[in-house]
Structure 1
Amino acid sequence: MKRVYIYHAVQIEVSVEIDTSGERSVTPGYGSGYVAVERITRAGLPASPAAPLRLGAADRRPFLNEVDALMGGYSAGRRMNEDLEGSG
């Protein structure tokens, strides 16, 4: 699953992958869980050479489902962009 969001002047691309780290989900029955893979670029510019970020839930475990992973990746991208705008 993959989504592209535009937030202010950046493009936040979030894709979801099954977690392969071996870390078990906190909730039985959910399998190994999901991670968000995020790439942030400035709209209209070539892709950044920086490696994509792999994000899990706040408790260092994978997200329980794909929707949580998408929204977690998007929220993290927005916060990073706001932090960068505030520091410039």
Structure 2
Amino acid sequence: MQIETGMKYQISQSVKGNFNSADSLTVTTNNGMTIQFTLEDGKGHGSMPLDHLSYLLKRSSLTPVTSNKRALLSTESEEKIG
């Protein structure tokens, strides 16, 4: 999965304590090795290695949140392809 600036991730209940009890985080920068992020509701910001973010995604500690526009575009693309 490509990690892009602006992507939003839902934080699971099991790891919320590590993220100031925020419900989600948004990637602000990705330099290929490290990502920087902000937490929802101004609960803070931070950074982590890209490998660790991938690990959290595999464990389902973080799940991508698709915006309505992105979901709509992918649905329209699938209809045109099929």
- TM range, smaller chain: 0.3 to 0.5
- TM-score (normalizing by structure 1): 0.34
- TM-score (normalizing by structure 2): 0.35
